[in-house]
Structure 1
């Protein structure tokens, strides 16, 4: 039986989105430096965070007037960031779990398509644990996790030289009105939802973190090892 790879878990807590991106880039650099050979913990990292404030992010695709769009969204009182991930506009903010795996797909034996499916499966595993069996992953272009035509969890990834970055954003108790100002992920006519809305109670990021980690380990067949050291 093949040993389950170890993945380092880094809990960043609530912090500005730019800081979580910087931590992610440091992990990407460390993972690339590790090379493709075997070694303890070499499969990668899983970074968890909750944005400290509202921020809109644009992926590698841009709309017809990106500069005007950025000005309009900043005027709402949110930050605006460009992110090296697939997709168009989305929103990140307090009450949202960001799970950014930095993984060497060669070590896990996964194609990029299978990796995206595994991220969706981890979010679906969490939903089952919370009593939301109706949650579904839909065929392309509808990436992420959906409930009754509304997106609960967005997935947007980047992969360079077999190393992944970015990942998923799961709405726990997010203020969904921020999504009213954009077409989330460029999908017209599709709404958004949150765990709090679906379960009809206040669901925090802290509450769902451990069941999400259980689902992640189950889907990726890995062992998460906690690392709390500074990433500076």
Structure 2
């Protein structure tokens, strides 16, 4: 039986390590349910979560990433009040910070569809539709994940990065959508290993700051519609 209910929660501005620990706990709990179902031939429903958050300045490096793409040493990180983590998602190096919607779907794809590529494309589509809500034509850059503007020419610039992990069809990590992000922090890395393309935000494209809560609501509803989710308000105390 597929469970389409998804608990939505917004963790607000949260330290990256704390958010990672909470993700890992939920991820492990869901995997434990699936393991028990398989071993004991039971049919306990697995939960799904969609989490939004923002982080203080932090750089994260995926498991197959290149440490040399971080252009700051420890002293430079301290000067920028930023931290650095090597983590267990796919993808290379990226930046998270205030004014950026970081989305962590921790869902059992057995409840929706078992296709990681389709999962990524569906998340991308939700961001593309959110950009369209603000009159911005966004799309995909052939050969790369994430969402781009002017992806078909030399002015291509990335507005949303993605990096996920999945085990037994349970997902974690997710996407980072630049809304009112301080883009100068991307100048201290080679974002996702791409050194000849720019990074942008809704604020930069529109020339004004956005109501990030409004953007979150639009994005949340697009994700729910595309996946066929039934969103419910979840507890903040996972």
**TM-score of the superposition, structure 2-length normalised?**
0.87
Q: Does 1:160 align with 2:163?
A: no
TM-align CA RMSD: 2.2
Which residue of 1 is the match for residue 15 of structure 2?
Answer: 16
Residue 158 of structure 1 contacts residue 166 of structure 1 at CA under 8 Å; is this kept in 2?
yes
Q: Name the CA shift for 1:211/1:64 in 2 (closer, same or farther; >3 Å).
A: closer
Distance 1:96 1:81 in 2: 18
Distance 2:11 2:85 in 1: 19
* Structure 1 unaligned spans of 5+: none
Which residue of 2 is the match for residue 55 of structure 1?
Answer: 58
- SS of the aligned residue for 1:213 comes to helix
**TM-score of the superposition, structure 1-length normalised?**
0.89
**Cα distance, 1:33 vs. partner?**
2.7
How many equivalent residue pairs?
A: 225
What's the CA shift string for 1:62-116, capped at 9, x where partnerless?
3265898653652443101111111111100000001110111122123111111
**Cα distance, 1:185 vs. partner?**
0.2
Q: Name the CA shift for 1:73/1:24 in 2 (closer, same or farther; >3 Å).
A: farther
* Structure 2 unaligned spans of 5+: 38-42, 151-155
Residue 43 of structure 1 contacts residue 107 of structure 1 at CA under 8 Å; is this kept in 2?
no
Q: Does 1:197 align with 2:196?
A: no
Structure 1 residue runs of 4 or more that deviate by more than 6 Å after TM superposition: none
**Cα distance, 1:221 vs. partner?**
0.9
Distance 2:231 2:114 in 1: 18
Which residue of 1 is the match for residue 176 of structure 2?
Answer: 169
Residue 2 of structure 2 contacts residue 110 of structure 2 at CA under 8 Å; is this kept in 1?
no
What's the CA shift string for 1:163-192, capped at 9, x where partnerless?
111000000101000001111000120110
Distance 1:212 1:205 in 2: 10
